[in-house]
């Protein structure tokens, strides 16, 4: 056994040398960037990350903050033998997000392909451009406004569940926001009611959490990026089971929706309306079904629906949780939101699309929450052509370039008093640099569902703040952050509720 270990060590060293020789120019340019120098063959700088996350039970946010303080708004790391440049300055971020050399998502996103396939989130080049053009009509203002009634419908269920907890001890709001968001995205994107809020233990939600954890493990341990090696591990087994649940549910819903549409067409009868007078029509899925056979296959439909189920569930859920957490800590802000909701919406009744347009301060609150706690804290692009940055560095071919949105939003050169929760900064116009605020990314690959997400969040927050006072579990309560795929909090988000 010792002889085998020595042999493997020599093999790793020789492979490292071979890769270094092959990538001399890339490595020379990367070496000009600041960053840690501890380098382990085939692991790069991942040893520190492994120690931080796995052994010390720390988090990637803490490690990232330490590196930004030490190296500044641009530095490099090594993920195995892949250089990763992380940027938290707006000028450099603008170049990265607008340069054609880095239009495609980073290679690590491909680790999600067993779940999301080759949907719009992961697709690159001409396929991404074509798919974005195909999907855009499903996210027009006219289409999205019809969903406000659905938002209200699922909010009413959520309010009933919250009512049972009002006046009681603090509780974790995560499962409630998660199941609410899952109900909304299922019915709006697929036209199917899955009644997640009335099922306390959702298999889909468990599978999402498992898949996210497995993705993080594959990020931390470079050798697990090999599908062959992954299949030999417990992580690989867990991921396979989770993606089986996720893809299976999506396929089942697509088949169900296809049958419903076919039945409606064959009978020449309009689709029935539900109890709030809204036709059960899934704009995204129905839109894609009309494209079937015209450049869109059944697998493509599954990929896109899986993508929107993920993107429209987990990110919205965490944004809602962070907002309720911050409102619990800042009673003055919460009361301003309450007064605006009473003035605009009234003391009862549903929130309408027009109301959403008039809830200006609530929108500023959400924007400030997403500044401090962006749901997607880092986005990564694959560099396919050498290019220069305003900071003076050259990014070589073969690098991964990450926009560190979390620390960009906390850059004091972009936002004065960056750690202070101050929604008024968005009433005053937001950051001076247009690439200083990127909760939904920017440029051509910005989030196609950002308007949908904002409308959903404004609806549920307006109704919850109107019905309840949101209180922290204690005066000194603070969150410990974590990153899996999206930003989150260790141990959930504790709040207490009082009826208004």
Residue pointed to by tokens 């090696």: 229
Burial grade of 7 (CB within 10 A; 0-12, 13-18, 19 or more): exposed
Angle at 221 between CA 216 and CA 226, to 5 degrees: 95
Distance CA 87, CA 106 (A): 14
Distance CA 449, CA 310 (A): 12
Distance CA 477, CA 328 (A): 10
Q: Is 447 annotated as a binding residue?
A: yes
Q: b/e for 449-473, b at 16 or more Cβ within 10 A?
A: beebbbbbbbbbbbbbbbbbbbbbe
Longest dimension (CA), the chain: 76
The candidate with the shortest Cα–Cα distance to 364, out of 316, 429, 416, is 429
Four-point Cα dihedral 340, 342, 345, 349, nearest 10: 150
Distance CA 73, CA 374 (A): 18
Binding residues for heme: 447
Binding residues: 447
């Amino acid at each position: 056994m010792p002889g085998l270990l020595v042999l493997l060590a020599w093999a790793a060293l020789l492979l490292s040398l071979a890769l270094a020789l092959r990538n001399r120019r890339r490595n020379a340019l990367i070496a000009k960037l600041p960053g840690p120098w501890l380098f382990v063959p085939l692991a790069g700088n991942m040893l520190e990350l492994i120690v931080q996350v796995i052994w010390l039970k720390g988090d990637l946010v803490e490690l990232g903050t330490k590196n930004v303080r030490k190296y500044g708004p641009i530095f490099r790391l090594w993920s195995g033998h892949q250089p990763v440049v992380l940027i938290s300055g707006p000028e450099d971020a603008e170049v990265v997000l607008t340069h054609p050399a880095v239009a495609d998502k980073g290679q690590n996103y491909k680790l999600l392909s067993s779940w999301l396939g080759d949907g719009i989130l992961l697709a690159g080049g001409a396929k991404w451009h074509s798919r974005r053009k195909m999907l855009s009509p499903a996210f027009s203002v006219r289409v999205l406004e019809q969903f406000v009634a659905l938002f209200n419908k699922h909010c009413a269920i959520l309010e009933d569940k919250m009512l049972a907890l009002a006046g009681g001890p603090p509780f974790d709001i995560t499962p409630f926001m998660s199941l609410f968001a899952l109900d909304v995205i299922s019915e709006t994107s697929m036209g199917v009611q899955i009644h997640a809020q009335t099922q306390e233990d959702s298999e889909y939600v468990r599978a999402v959490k498992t898949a996210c954890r497995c993705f993080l493990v594959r990020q931390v341990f470079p050798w697990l990026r090999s599908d062959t090696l992954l299949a030999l591990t417990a992580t690989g087994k867990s991921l396979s089971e989770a993606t089986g649940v996720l893809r299976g549910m999506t396929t089942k819903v697509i088949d169900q929706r296809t049958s419903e549409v076919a039945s409606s067409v064959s009978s020449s009868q309009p689709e029935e309306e539900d109890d709030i007078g809204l036709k059960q029509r899934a704009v995204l899925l129905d839109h894609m079904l009309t494209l079937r056979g015209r450049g869109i296959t059944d697998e493509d439909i599954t990929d896109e629906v899986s993508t929107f189920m993920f993107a429209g569930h987990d990110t919205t859920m965490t944004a809602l949780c962070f907002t309720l957490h911050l409102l619990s800590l800042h009673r003055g802000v919460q009361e301003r939101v309450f007064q605006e909701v009473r003035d605009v919406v009234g003391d009862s009744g549903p929130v309408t699309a027009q109301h959403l347009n008039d809830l200006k301060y609530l929108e500023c609150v959400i924007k400030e929450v997403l500044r401090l706690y962006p749901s997607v804290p880092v986005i990564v692009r694959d560099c396919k052509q050498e290019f220069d940055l305003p900071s003076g560095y050259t990014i070589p071919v073969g690098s991964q370039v990450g926009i560190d949105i979390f620390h960009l939003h906390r850059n004091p050169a972009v936002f004065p008093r960056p750690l202070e929760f101050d929604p008024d900064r968005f009433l005053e116009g937001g950051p001076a640099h247009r690439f200083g605020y990127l909760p939904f990314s920017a440029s051509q690959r910005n989030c196609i569902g950002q308007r949908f997400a904002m409308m959903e969040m404004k609806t549920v927050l307006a109704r919850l703040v109107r019905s309840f006072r949101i209180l922290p579990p204690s005066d000194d309560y603070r969150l410990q952050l974590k990153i899996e795929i999206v930003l989150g909090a260790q141990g959930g988000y504790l709040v207490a509720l009082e009826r208004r």
